[in-house]
Amino acid sequence: MRMYLSRVARGGAHSSLQLIDLFLHEVGRYSSTLLLLMVFCVETGVVIFVIRDLRAADHEVQSIYAGSVLGLRGIGELQYQAQETRRSTLYALTTNDSNLQVEYADQSRAADRRVTDGISDYLAHARMPREVDVGNRLERDWSAYLKVRDEVLASILEGSIKEAVDFDLAGGVPSFDRVRQDLEDVKRLYDEQASQRLTIVDEASRRSAGRLVGVLCFTLLFASVSVWAIQRAKMLSALKLAKLQMDFVASVSHELRTPLAVICASAQNIADGVVEEKEQLAKYGSVIRNQTRQLTDLVNQILLFASTKEGRTHYVLRPLQVPPVIDAVLRNARETVEEAGFTVEQHLDPDLPEIVGDSSALVQCLQNLVGNAVKYGGSHPRITIRAFVDKAHEHHDDEVRISVEDRGIGIDSSEIPHIFDPFYRSPVVAAAQIHGTGLGLPLAKNIAEAMGGRITVVSKLGVGSVFTLHLPIGKKTRQTMTVIESDSFTRQ
């Protein structure tokens, strides 16, 4: 992505589609799973918002139910009990039987206790000033009515019916009307609160619906864009691959045609009898042998890459000593190195542990690195091979590193991410007419990974490159190393 930004910065005037393609080219290097993951993350974020809204609305509805619906039911119960208080009192007027009158008085008092408790409960839960005002007024008016009710009951029980009726008409009726009015006020207050809360719920529900629609639209849009982007990235990738393959075919054709042309010309000269002397014949034979070997190497490289790519190659992994591997590499590459006039320096740690790998594959891998060092070694014909264990870093002490260093043309930092791509050849190298197929490094990388290792590169344009093969140390070797280390620690 950083490269994309730098390219955009460098690129000057680009059309928007070119910029998108550039972006997709970079994005296309990652899997489409990443895109789907991004979509999923965004979707999850928005859905969390929607769920939060829905939960808030649900909470508000529960709050309305608890605060208003239950409250209204409570007030309805209070109204009924207040009526019951008055009704029982008046029932006592309808009989002369003192026992019945006492029963009615009892009923009236039981109902009035429920009303009094209900009012206390309402006051205890009242929060707003209006609620407290109405509650206090209700409590006061109810107490006033109860005083009159007590007098009325006493008069009824005493048998003074006229007096009871007079008391009720003078005090009972108006005070009970006030209580009724107060209860209506409380009810109205609950209604108002319920309306306000319903408005909030309505808003929350509309907001949730809006967000849901937004999520759906966003999902549709994002999915469409993602599908388009994935398709376009795939298309760009396919185009790039096709171009690489065309380049490869052209390169291989060139690599094949040149030695074939030399072989053909040499053979023609010999056949035409142009070459007669023994020395010249030997020279022509040498040319044909070299060109044939070059062709064989090329074909072998292609076949080997194809087999490693398809996973058809079976490696035999076993513990190996590093120096014999490096000796084999240098033996195989000696002719190439010497013909190019290069010298090779070796710096191998004396106590290198055993590694685990396939001997011939490792030789092939390192040989490719040495061949590249020769090919791109420029005007400084010196190659340095090092093998060591990086004990300075604790988490790197379980691997052996074999590095191949040249002081050649180096690699531009923008090229480094692509040099392990199959068939990739740097435009600079191609322009300099340095022969190659773009398969050497990918093949080396495949082999390294098959051995459980990796290849890293450090390079500076015009200074040189260091390719390092990291290989894991065998288990037995590691145990031995640990024992040796602990022994030395004990001795210390």
Partner 1 sequence: MWRVAGVLIIVSAAVLLLEVSPTAVLNAAGAPPETELPDQSLAIIVNQSNPVDNVSFQDLRTIFLGERSHWPNGRRITLVMLEPGQPERKVILHTIYRMTESDFSRHFLQGLFTGEVFVSPKTLASPVGVRKFVFNVPGAIGYVRVPDVDDTVKVIRVDGHLPDDKDYALRIPARPAK
Q: Which residues bind partner 1 (CB under 8 A)?
A: 98-99, 102, 105-106, 150, 153-154, 157-160
Residue closer to partner 1 (CB basis): 108 or 301? 108
- Longest pairwise C-alpha distance within the chain: 162
Distance of alpha carbon 194 from alpha carbon 237, whole angstroms = 62
Cα-only R_g, the chain: 48
Q: Report, in Å, the least distance between residue 188 CB and partner 1.
A: 35
Residue closer to partner 1 (CB basis): 158 or 327? 158
Q: Report, in Å, the least distance between residue 99 CB and partner 1.
A: 5
What are the tokens at 486?
A: 């602990």
Could you tell me if 317 and 451 are in contact, meaning their C-beta atoms sit under 8 angstroms apart?
yes
Q: Could you give phi then psi for residue 241, rounded to 5 degrees?
A: -65, -40
Q: Report, in Å, the least distance between residue 104 CB and partner 1.
A: 10
Residue closer to partner 1 (CB basis): 105 or 304? 105
Residue closer to partner 1 (CB basis): 160 or 195? 160
Provide the edge-to-edge strand list for the sheet that holds 382-389: 343-348, 382-389, 399-406, 464-472, 454-460
Residue closer to partner 1 (CB basis): 151 or 182? 151
Residue closer to partner 1 (CB basis): 117 or 158? 158
Give the CA distances from residue 308 to residues 145, 225, 286, 457, in Å, rounded to whole numbers and listed in that order: 101, 36, 32, 21
What are the tokens at 67?
A: 């605060």
Angle between helix 359-375 and helix 440-450 axes, rounded to 10 deg: 150
Q: Report, in Å, the least distance between residue 161 CB and partner 1.
A: 13
Could you tell me if 474 and 354 are in contact, meaning their C-beta atoms sit under 8 angstroms apart?
yes
Q: Report, in Å, the least distance between residue 186 CB and partner 1.
A: 29
Q: Report, in Å, the least distance between residue 185 CB and partner 1.
A: 31
Contacts of 397 (CB under 8 A, 6+ apart): 389, 390, 391
